[in-house]
Amino acid sequence: MILVDPVLRIPSPDAPHLLTILGSSNQHHNNTLFPPHEMDEYEEAVLFTFSLLESRLDRIEYVLGGAHSPANTDGKPKTVAERIQRIEKSLQALSAKSALLNEAQELLKKHKDVLKPQETTDEAGLNALQKAVVVVERAPSFASTASQLKALDDQQIPPTDGFVKLAKLAPRVAEAEERHLQQALEISLLRKQSGLLVQRAKHVQVLGANRCWAEWDKRLQLAQRTVGREEFRRKQEEEEL
């Protein structure tokens, strides 16, 4: 089985060498492609895997280096070994050019257990006697839990008529809440307007009247001083005569 990186879709550095995997198949077929009429399921799976690897490799090369000319331009079918060597050389060239592939290989080397399934082991290790002791120890709690569940089952469910009526009233309650919100907004606006009216009335009726009285008092005092000076002047003239 070929280990493939699930992120980059490239063979893992810890995977067996591709040439080693199919060495026996290459010797059996004398380094030629499998004839279609003689291939079994394993050979078809291998060739399908090679095709997928080559297509994914072409995609990676196109992403990293742009368009490139195909390697097989003579039209002759390649042997399995040649295809494997081409894939390995292309991967090595891409690893040398791309820092991303180098980092991915370094991560795979540091974390080898990522692609290996972890074996689950039974850590309890209890024998039959110990398991029986645990069951006997927990038996009273099972009985108490069963009695509690039985008591809950015996309890009567309260009538749901009130809940049904409340559910039917839910749209009306929502409408009333919306109307209450609108009324609260209107009351807030009216409160603001009334505050402005009270402030205006205070300025016009109270402060304005006080300003008028202050102005009249000032004029009256000025007139009194003028009259007093005139009377004093006339009195002096009469005394001189």
Give the structural domain span for 61: 18-114
User: Confidence class of residue 65 from pLDDT cuts 50, 70 and 90?
Assistant: low
More confident residue, 109 or 91: 109
Burial letters 203-230, b for 16+ CB under 10 A, else e: eeeeeeeeeeeeeeeeeeeeeeeeeeee
- Rounded mean pLDDT of 140-144? 86
- Rounded mean pLDDT of 194-216? 89
Amino acid occupying residue 30: N
More confident residue, 180 or 51: 180
**Domain finish residue from 93, 114, 135:** 114
- The residue behind tokens 């004839």 is 35
Query: What pLDDT is attached to residue 120?
Result: 62
**Domain finish residue from 78, 97, 114:** 114
**Domain finish residue from 83, 114, 145:** 114
Q: Is residue 223 part of a domain?
A: yes
Is residue 79 scored above 90 in pLDDT?
no
Give how many domains the chain has, as a whole number. Answer: 2
Is residue 38 scored above 80 in pLDDT?
no
Is residue 176 scored above 90 in pLDDT?
yes
Angle at which helices 41-65 and 80-97 cross, to 10°: 30
The string of DSSP letters for 144-171 reads HHHHHHHHHHHSPPPP-HHHHHHHHTHH
Amino acid occupying residue 182: Q
Q: Is residue 94 part of a domain?
A: yes
Query: What pLDDT is attached to residue 66?
Result: 60
Q: Is residue 51 part of a domain?
A: yes
Q: What is the pLDDT of residues 103-123, one digit of tens each?
A: 777 888 887 776 676 666 555
User: Confidence class of residue 78 from pLDDT cuts 50, 70 and 90?
Assistant: low
Amino acid occupying residue 160: T
Q: Is residue 1 part of a domain?
A: no
Looking at the structure, tell me whether residues 106 and 183 fall in a common domain: no
Looking at the structure, tell me whether residues 184 and 108 fall in a common domain: no
